[in-house]
Amino acid sequence: MGRLGDRGQRWREALRHDYAGVMVDVRDALFQLAWLVAAGADEAVLDVPADRFRRIDAEAERQPGALPPSPGSKPPSEGPAAPLVPDPISRANELAASCNSLEALRAALEAFEGCPLKTAAKSTVFADGIAGAKILCIGEAPGAEEDKAGKPFVGRAGQLLDRMLAAIGLSRQQNVYITNVLNWRPPGNRVPSPEEAAICLPFLRRHIELAAPELIILLGGTAVRHVSGRTDGILRLRGTWLEYFAAGKMVPMMPTLHPAYLLRQPAQKRLAWHDLQEIRARIHALGLADTNLSN
């Protein structure tokens, strides 16, 4: 081989790495990573990569009549963690019912291991604003910023929410309490699954009872679906009052468009503006405006 050939060979060698027993060309790996990023992947969900092909092999090995694993073969790598709590919804119900204060509820959520989302999240996002305020906003789930900060609605959508509230004289510093249906960030900000929501709902219901709001603002379709049980789309339900019963008392709920949706569809802000006017009128009709709106 000539000099150029040797150098080319050395480059090729330098670009090949032994990764857990598999020789990988760094350029291929980078190309695949760039492809994943372009497809929208923004984080690794597990600390170690999950080899799904190996998992399929492992399933096959469990079939009756399958050959035993060959000597020296590696055990299957871990897939997503199995729930650590056998019946997480019942456990969530028991725990939530046993909490008699918002602080106890926060501590119970922080100790709860029944929601698989928690394994990938940095924080348990409980609430922000004035605990006990008469106005409660409920969103969907924490995003990346909220996961970092441990507080709901601190990213761009949160800033828009603050402006929306300010337009009708509300603010989380004075008279609004804010939480989400989910207390942990779904990886990549995907819509939470019905199972994940069902595990978090007992905590949310107890959260509403303990916070005892007099008016609830539902932000977006996920909050509407899980809090009200209504399955019609948000564009159909927004702007019409719904009812929530907490501790035998009816609390009016207004579904409106999620601020993250409004950032993507600014032309829809006029619909949200209409909903905000409805909320302002109801606050006055209920006499909530005469106080500082806090219990």
Q: Would you give the binding string for ligand URA spanning residues 169-188, x where CB under 6 A is met?
A: -----------x--------
**Nearer residue to ligand URA within complex by CB, 225 or 288:** 225
User: Should residue 192 be labelled a site residue for ligand URA when binding is judged by CB under 6 A?
Assistant: no
The answer to whether 191 and 181 are in contact (CB under 8 A) is no
**Nearer residue to ligand URA within complex by CB, 129 or 252:** 129
User: Should residue 221 be labelled a site residue for ligand URA when binding is judged by CB under 6 A?
Assistant: no
Which of 76, 142, 192, 252 touches ligand URA (CB under 6 A)? 142
CB of 234 vs ligand URA, minimal distance in Å = 12
CB of 17 vs ligand URA, minimal distance in Å = 39
User: Should residue 143 be labelled a site residue for ligand URA when binding is judged by CB under 6 A?
Assistant: yes
User: Should residue 157 be labelled a site residue for ligand URA when binding is judged by CB under 6 A?
Assistant: yes
CB of 184 vs ligand URA, minimal distance in Å = 11
**Nearer residue to ligand URA within complex by CB, 102 or 125:** 125
User: Should residue 165 be labelled a site residue for ligand URA when binding is judged by CB under 6 A?
Assistant: no
Binding site for ligand URA (CB under 6 A): 139-143, 146, 152-153, 157-158, 180, 260
